[in-house]
Amino acid sequence: MPQKIQQTKQDLRKNKPARDEYPSKPKISLVVVLDNVTNSHNIGAFIRLADAFAIEKVIVCGELTISDKKLNKASRNESKWVCVEYSSNTTSSLQILLDEGYAAFSVELCHESVDYTAVTYPSKCVLVLGNERKGVSEAVLKLSHQHIHIPMYGMGNSLNVSTAGAIVLAECSNQIRKLPHF
């Protein structure tokens, strides 16, 4: 049986930048756009994921009815390390990113979608994830370069949006970090 190794907080932090240096450290050019995601726990999970993968930012789009206090609790205060923007309109926010040279990938199971692992993600990338019940809106799907999905081998047809985001975000960020210029 493998021996369990106890690591201290200091051990876990030894390869990380100092807290005062972290905000100025470069992030990968990966943006998560949340298209009308409304649950504070899901939004908080994306903020934590953005910190974990050191991505550029999270844009929360739509009518947000949750308090900052609730969002900070859900994100475990990691929002202080992550650029979080709010927008009332997903399509206009996505169009700005497209004009800046980002490629957009919507995580949505549909007729045109492909397995997320079959995609080669570029260095400037946007992952769009949709509302917990309705998914990514049609207008946003039309702006996306590609629709991607996670293959489901069990009886269910979908995952929680933050779970799906974690899976795709890990693949996308790992590919970007392996690019020659990174």
Q: Does pLDDT of 65 surpass 80? A: no
Kindly list the structural domains of the chain, giving each domain's residue range(s) and its CATH number in brackets, ordered by start.
24-177 (3.40.1280.10)
Q: What pLDDT sits at residue 8?
A: 81
pLDDT in the model for residue 75:
63
pLDDT tens track for 94-127? 999 999 999 999 999 999 999 999 999 999 999 9
Phi, psi (rounded to 5 degrees) for 23: -60, -30
DSSP 32: E
Distance CA 129, CA 141 (A): 10
**Residue entry with tokens 């974690």:** 166
C-beta atoms surrounding 79 within 10 Å: 20
Residue 39's nearest CA partner among 10, 65, 69, 1 is 65
